[in-house]
Every structure is written in structure tokens, then in C-alpha cells.
Amino acid sequence: MRFKLFDLSGRLALVTGSSQGIGFALARGLAEHGAAVVINGRDETRIADAVNVLRTEGHVAQPSSFDVTDQISVQAGIERIETEIGAIDILVNNAGMQFRSPLEDFPADKWQMLLQTNVSSAFYAGQAVARHMIARRAGKIINIASVQSELARPSIAPYTATKGAIRNLTRGMATDWAKYGLQINAIAPGYFKTPLNQALVDNPEFSAWLEKRTPAGRWGNVEELVGAAVFLAGEASSFVNGQTLFVDGGMTASV
């Protein structure tokens, strides 16, 4: 029997951008703790594959394809889930992207793309889901931030700006919505082995730097984010609001 504070049985979780990488790991982890999960993305084939994997493992999973960077698409997608699948108890705003370039040469179109994918998507989905949660006087929203919410590195200044925005959007959501019984928090991953970071994982020089810079001495594995997500999604975090939990092997604690 699952410990009650971390038992997600009977709850429905929507994880955006969850057909692979961190999003899929979080969806699987929430499902392992009893939640039914909705897999979201834009690539219907990838979504279907992810759903099939979870169902094969015995979990309850449903697909939902909509573009989180488009407000109309998000609103329609959320309404379909609420009407056809069930009330969303947990929202994980995971969708994100990265683009690297020296700041002086950073393309304006990529800047806009980062803003839409990393920030606007969380605002659109958060607002659309919160309207239903407010009516029910309960709900959990988990935004995926980053160590770059706190730190910067060369060539990713715009990404750093978007993740700093996510940290403060989390605070703002909590400030506005805690009075309705919602808890809104963020997880800030350090450097994890994901498709988004594959080029860095494959770079021996960067990996050597990372292992030296991180007190834990290694890359993170995506499964190591699940505990934080389950904590923030369950009753254990009933009085935790507006916080950012860094899961980074000690990187932001060390100079």
C-alpha cells in the first residue's frame, strides 16, 4: 500500500511535452504512484508510442495532442480533457526547448520561439487548468524550471531568461491562487541526460567540466526527478507554495 502522503490514486495528471525525456519520466513516475496520466505533445506518433509503453506497464494513460505555444489550442485541449477524460488534478508544465548561440548573434526568431515554448506555454496551460481547479478549490501545478533559473552560462542567455521567468511565474501563480486551495511550485533540474542535452552528454570536455562542477560528480538520470514531482503532486506538499525545488546534485549550493 502506498504511503498516503505520496499516494496519487484517483488523480488525473496532465504533463505537457511528455512524449520523451523529462516529461515522459515524470508522467511514468506519477503513474507508478497511482495517477492516471495524459501524455501531451505535437507529434501524435510519439504520443501514441509513449501511451502504449505506459499501458503495457499497466498504467492508465491517455493521449492529448495540442500546441502549448498557441493559447486557443491550449484552451481547446484542456476543455477536451476536462470533458472527455476527467478533471485535471495535477498539471506539470514541462514543455521546453533550448537554442545555443552567442548572445550578440542570437536570432530574434529563436528568442521569440524560446519565450513562447518555455514561458507562454506555462502561462497558457496554467491559466486554463487553474480556472477549473479554482472552481473545485483544489489542484497542483508543477512548473519545470532549471538551474538556469539561478545561474547563467555562455551562449544560453535567452534560455536563462525564460527559466528565470518560470521561477517568478511560479511565485506569482501561488500568490494569486493559493487562496483557492491550489499549490503551485517548480522543480529546477540540474544537468540531466535527456535528448535536449544529448550534444552536451556526447561532448567529453563538457562532461568533464560538469562532473567537476557538480558536487555529486555526475550527470543526473531523469528518474531522479520523480521523487520531487510526487512530493509536489501529493498531500505531502499541502502547505508548500511558490517554491522552486532544485534537483541538481548540489550545483547551485557550491562555488
Question: Which residues are the active-site residues?
Answer: 159
d(CA 195, CA 210): 17
Q: Name the CA radius of gyration of the chain, rounded.
A: 17
Crossing angle of the two packed helices 44-56 and 21-32, in degrees rounded to 10:
30
Q: Which residue has the cell 502504449?
A: 52
Query: Dihedral of the CA atoms 229, 233, 238, 241 (nearest 10)?
Result: 60
DSSP bridge partners of 184: 141
Beta-sheet pairing, 182-189 with 61-65: unpaired
- The β-bridge relationship of strands 61-65 and 36-41 is parallel
Cα-based torsion angle of the residue sequence 36, 238, 226, 211 in order, rounded to the nearest 10 degrees: 160
Whole-number Cα distances in Å, 39 to 31, 70, 85, 90, 132:
11, 17, 12, 13, 19
Q: Rounded CA gap, 74 and 121, in Å?
A: 8
Beta bridge partners of 93: 143
Yes or no: say if 207 and 161 are a contact pair by the CB < 8 Å rule.
Answer: no
